[in-house]
Amino acid sequence: MDTGRNHSWAPASVSQADAERAPPILEVHDLTCRFGGVVAVNRCSFSIERGRITGVIGPNGAGKTTIFRMVAGALAPSSGRILFEGEDITGVPTHEMFHRGIVRTFQIPHEFGRLTTLENLMTVPSGQPGENLWRVWASPGRIRNHEAGVREKAERTLEFLNLSGLRDELAMNLSGGQKKLLELGRAMMTEPRLALLDEPGAGVNPTLLASLAEMIRTLNRERNYTFVIIEHDMDLIASLCDRVIVLAEGAVLTEGTMDKVREDPRVIEAYLGGGDEADEAVESKASIGSASE
């Protein structure tokens, strides 16, 4: 589990007291998702604090991505409720979730391969007049003006992501790590209120991962983005997240700070199995979250 990387970033700047005073940005109540006979998410409940970076961890098959998909509207829950800023958004489709301020990135990068890096970002902002065909033909001048603003924002975002040099490159030609940055950039184009990042560090080399993590921290600190991050890289989770939710078999096993979570034998058992293996695992618990030490 130890990736051999050590990240030295300080915790996010939003104070515990501030976060506790504000109502949660997202609440999930008794969320359940069944695929035929398989219960992928089983009466799962948790809340996400505004302006914080929350990690979601758990072994493969724990239901992390399924929960993301339900929160982002890509999958309708079998039962349960999802509240976003106090409003029930259960079953609202993805494109409407986006307009409410929830964006999601994917485990495997989902770039628009045959659009350039810049165009990938320019596609995102909603309400572009140029997306209406009649306006394209009837008022090209207005569209040009709006387009200039979108382009400027996209170029600023590329600069933040250190991808300016690749602005005219087709997204399909970017490396895996650059595609992850592009995913983050697409999320940034909307100034989201809640960003769900699904394994942003997967397949990213250590140098780029350090940059990616720093960017997430900057966005959280300076723009007050709320992040929920699924990640298997415990170093990254430990260094970035104020709070961690541990899932196992579709339900919340425990939650709290990384220090608290990694002391919990149930977490180690969930990751490594029971019996003798679990005993050994307790001894090797440093492998989960060693980077924070």
CA proximity to 14, closest of 49, 57, 55, 56: 49
Diameter of the chain measured on Cα atoms? 72
**Which residue among 119, 155, 249, 264 contacts another protein (CB under 8 A)?**
119
As measured in angstroms, the least distance from the Cβ of 284 to another protein is 38
Name which of 29 and 167 has its Cβ closer to another protein. 167
Q: Does 164 bind another protein (CB under 8 A)?
A: no
Q: Does 126 bind another protein (CB under 8 A)?
A: yes
190 neighbors 101 (Cβ within 8 angstroms): yes
**Which residue among 124, 174, 216, 236 contacts another protein (CB under 8 A)?**
124
Q: Which sign does the torsion angle of CA 237, 241, 247, 253 carry?
A: positive
Q: Does 143 bind another protein (CB under 8 A)?
A: yes
Among the residue ranges 44-52, 135-143, 245-253, 270-278, the one whose residues contact another protein (CB under 8 A): 135-143
Tokens 């199995």 sit on residue = 273
CA distance 211 to 238: 16
As measured in angstroms, the least distance from the Cβ of 188 to another protein is 12
CA distance 264 to 282: 9
Q: Does 173 bind another protein (CB under 8 A)?
A: no
CA distance 47 to 272: 26
The site for another protein (CB under 8 A) is made up of: 72, 74, 93-95, 98-99, 103-104, 106, 110-116, 118-120, 122-124, 126, 128-133, 136-137, 140, 143, 147, 150, 168, 170, 186, 190
